[in-house]
Amino acid sequence: MDSMVGSLIATAGLIISGFALAVDMPAEGKAKCGTCHAIDKNIFGPSFMAVSEKYKDDKDAASKIAANITVGGSFGWLFGYMPARGLGANDSEIQFLSKFIADLAK
Ligand code: HEC
């Protein structure tokens, strides 16, 4: 009985830490964007949370963000210039990360 309670507690702990990780940078983002971006602070580019706030009321947020990541360039943040596709993200990674960014501020 005690061991069952213990495993329930352990399971609850895993679920809670799973939620905490939900706002961590996805693996694709770490490898191909993380040099310049973080979720909640500016590095060489704006934080993904700030980008999400910018598009918060835009229902096409994910597709506009995806288009900008794909072509790169300047988007008015005054950080400079983003390389197209960051450090080599492919289309499906860009789709995934754009949706992830768009949903952050919701
Ligand atoms: C070499 C640095 C660098 C890398 C790598 C990089 N970015 Fe950026 N990114 C920037 C900079 C700089 C800007 C801001 C440009 C400006 O000043 O307007 C930016 C802007 C953005 C924006 C804002 C677009 C908008 O519409 O306002 C998004 C979204 C973004 N990056 C996503 C990504 C994603 C996703 C990746 C990885 C696939 C990535 N970036 C990789 C430098 C980088």
| CATH code, domain with 65 | 1.10.760.10
Cα gap 101→41, rounded to integer Å: 14
pLDDT of 43 higher than 90: yes
Q: Give residue-wise pLDDT tens across range 59-80.
A: 999 999 999 999 999 999 999 9
Among 37, 43, 70, 87, the mutation site with the greatest number of ligand 1 atoms within 8 A of its Cβ is 37
Tell me whether residue 72 is in a domain: yes
Domain carrying residue 72: 25-104
Q: Are 44 and 86 in contact (CB under 8 A)?
A: no
pLDDT of residue 106: 86
Bridge partners, 37 (sequence order): 42
Q: How confident is the model at residue 32 (pLDDT cuts 50, 70, 90)?
A: very high
3-class DSSP state for residue 42? strand
Question: Number of structural domains, the chain?
Answer: 1
Q: Is 82 in the pocket of ligand 1 (CB under 6 A)?
A: yes
Contacts of 36 (CB under 8 A, 6+ apart): 43, 44, 45, 82, 86
Tell me whether residue 20 is in a domain: no
Tell me whether residue 10 is in a domain: no
Tell me whether residue 13 is in a domain: no
pLDDT of 17 higher than 80: no
Q: How confident is the model at residue 21 (pLDDT cuts 50, 70, 90)?
A: very low
